[in-house]
Amino acid sequence: MEKELNIKPKTMHGYLQLYEKYLKNTIGPLEIREINSIILTAVQKNFKKQGVGDPTRAAIHRLWRLVLQYAFDDRIIDMNPALCRGIAPAVAEKEQSTLSLEELQRFLDAVDEKSPIWRTLIYTEVFTGLRRGELAALMWDDICLDDEQPYIHVNKNVVVVKGCKDKIGTPKTNSSVRDLAIFGPLLGILKEYKDCDTGIGFVFKGFGDPNEPINPDTITNHIRVLGKKCGIKCTPHTLRRTLASILDKSHVRLKVGQKILGHSSEAVTSKYYVITNRSDRDEGLKTFYDVVNKRDN
């Protein structure tokens, strides 16, 4: 029976590209049982001589590690040789870009002049830190505006794979399924937008087909253009990291940020810079709202 791989379509697409370009003819006729750490190290050195960059070689190693781990799990091999030290290149972490509070406020001022859909979408992104696929997948049934504490229930994700139709799937990790409280200006903006929208289906509908979600790449491109008009470099992920940065500077606990952002671990969140219970998470978001909305009159 063929084993089902627990890999997102976009990730699988990237792996297949790496395989076709770098690995298909690299190992040769060796069987998987014959692959060892010495061979993997030699191949990595050869890639380096060919001028293949460290990030690409690190991605190739992740693919090896994944495939060999499946072989180990299925008891085809006794150990995963890709786990040995010294094979994968050490890749320096990129500095994570965020907006200063002044830049964020300038960006929001520019957003206020946009159409209702973009104003609502960008305010939702800024005040929740959703991944762009999570933002695109939001449906009105996921948003409760009438509770004593209004909230957004994050439970879906739009996956973009080049050459394929966008797919509605589960969030990136189990930790990504979460409820996020809605405060201040975002609550009013969502209510206004719902009144002028159908109030059913996707919150941010595709421009070609209202029964489909907006394409995540469209979100990225629009935010980039708006940021350029403000004189800043900005993407949806920049806004997501900015939320984490302001939480950190406001002394909101790391565990709180982890839960708000839907990360699988604090280690992932710490690279950006979050709650063990609902009330802590809500308080963390409230802190962010209060900081951002202290604008000069």
Placement of tokens 């969030």 in the chain:
171
Residue 276 pLDDT: 46
Least confident residue range of 39-48, 69-78, 286-295: 286-295
CATH number of this structure's domain 101-292: 1.10.443.10
Residue 192 pLDDT: 93
User: Are 141 and 152 spatial neighbours (Cβ–Cβ below 8 Å)?
Assistant: no
User: What does the pLDDT average to over 66-92?
Assistant: 85
CA dihedral sign, ordered 74, 76, 78, 84: negative
CA–CA separation, 23 and 16 (whole Å)? 10
SS3 content of the chain, % helix, strand, coil (to 5): 55, 5, 40
User: Are 19 and 63 spatial neighbours (Cβ–Cβ below 8 Å)?
Assistant: yes
CA distances from 236 to 28, 64, 122, 159 (A): 42, 31, 9, 15
Phi-psi category of residue 194: left, alpha or beta, with phi > 0 → left and psi -120 to 50 → alpha: alpha
Residue 182 pLDDT: 95
User: Rounded to two decimals, what is the model's pTM?
Assistant: 0.70
Examine the pLDDT at 127 and tell me if it is beyond 80: yes
Residue 275 pLDDT: 43
Domain coordinates in residue numbering, the chain: 9-83, 101-292
User: What does the pLDDT average to over 204-217?
Assistant: 91
H-helix segments, the chain:
9-18, 37-49, 54-73, 101-111, 116-128, 132-137, 184-196, 216-229, 236-249, 254-261, 266-272, 278-292
Token digits of residue 279:
């009330």
Q: 116-128 and 101-111 are packed helices; what angle lies between their axes, rounded to 10 degrees?
A: 160
User: Are 180 and 128 spatial neighbours (Cβ–Cβ below 8 Å)?
Assistant: yes
CATH architecture of 9-83: Orthogonal Bundle (1.10)
Examine the pLDDT at 129 and tell me if it is beyond 90: yes
Same fold, 9-83 and 101-292: no
